[in-house]
Amino acid sequence: MPLIVRQFPCLSDNYGFLARDEATGLTACIDTPDAGAILKELDTLGWSLSLILNTHWHRDHAGGNAEVKAATGATIVGPAEVEKIAPVDRKVADGDVVDLGETRLQVIGTGGHTLGHVTYFDAADEIAFVGDTLFSLGCGRLFEGTAEQMWASLSKLAALPDDTAVYCAHEYTAANARFALSVDDAPALRARAEEVFAARGRGEPTVPTTIAREKATNPFLRAGDAAAFAAVRAAKDVFQG
């Protein structure tokens, strides 16, 4: 049975995600951008929480861990770096597997934005929770890692199945589209950008995206190698859209 994903906005531009294993009803939240919003969503749905899955240690991803755990008793799973701001019950790294009922989530090391950043990938359902590594038409800033590390991480994500639903942690897509149009003339990009501007105009989310769409339109994935990626990333860091 599938994994059901419930997505809701948190803070100014984060998304919160609840993922429920349909077979068992076991539920995880991916990151804790806003404890209040997550607890309210659980309450609305009548779901109880088993796991908190952190992608990285930043406050808008793990800052609600203590409050959500206190309210739900959920087990906190995440990379060791999360201990910088909160205790972790089970530390995970690349190659580990986290079971949520019948759903198997592969832990993929996707460092670069932070050194220990991880992605959770459900191969059976083709669902990936990528945190701040890959955004629609963009990617995370290099706060801790090198361009080489981030390029390797993005390449791992690009190798996932084309139809994989990619749950990015922020709604940055319109700003990313403005930058993408300034550096990339991919045929699919203009159409995607128009779609994004229209969706945002209607107040609709542009997340999740897919691996196929990002491979066709995302200037960071399309860079081709680490050096070219570094140049695109540097240009984005100073872009005044």
Binding residues (CB under 5 A) for Zn ion: these are: 58, 132
Least Cβ distance, residue 124 to Fe ion (angstroms): 27
The one catalytic residue among 31, 34, 56, 125: 56
Considering beta carbons, is residue 132 or 214 the nearer one to Fe ion? 132
Tokens 């206190």: give the residue. 70
> Please, which of residues 130-149 interact with Fe ion by CB under 5 A?
132
Q: Point out which span in 57-65, 69-77, 97-105, 108-116 binds Fe ion (CB under 5 A).
A: 57-65
117 is annotated as an active-site residue: no
Q: Point out which span in 42-50, 83-91, 126-134, 202-210 binds Fe ion (CB under 5 A).
A: 126-134
**How far is the C-alpha of 112 from the C-alpha of 142, rounded, in Å?**
6
21 is an interface residue for Fe ion by CB under 5 A: no
The one catalytic residue among 21, 58, 122, 125: 58
Q: Which of 21, 34, 41, 60 binds Fe ion (CB under 5 A)?
A: 60
96 is annotated as an active-site residue: no
Considering beta carbons, is residue 132 or 171 the nearer one to Fe ion? 132
60 is annotated as an active-site residue: yes
SS3 content of the chain, % helix, strand, coil (to 5): 35, 25, 40
- The contacts found for 159-164 with CB under 8 angstroms, 24 or more apart, are 160/121, 160/126, 160/128, 160/211, 161/123, 161/126, 161/211, 162/210, 162/211, 162/212, 162/215, 163/126, 163/210, 163/211, 163/212, 164/121, 164/126, 164/127, 164/128, 164/210, 164/211
Q: Point out which span in 52-60, 64-72, 175-183, 222-230 binds Fe ion (CB under 5 A).
A: 52-60
Bridge-based pairing state of the strands 165-168 and 75-78: unpaired
Least Cβ distance, residue 164 to Fe ion (angstroms): 20
Burial class (CB in 10 A: 0-12, 13-18, 19+), 97: exposed
61 is annotated as an active-site residue: yes
**Contacting positions for Fe ion (CB under 5 A):** 60, 132
**Active site residue ranges:** 56, 58, 60-61, 113, 132, 170
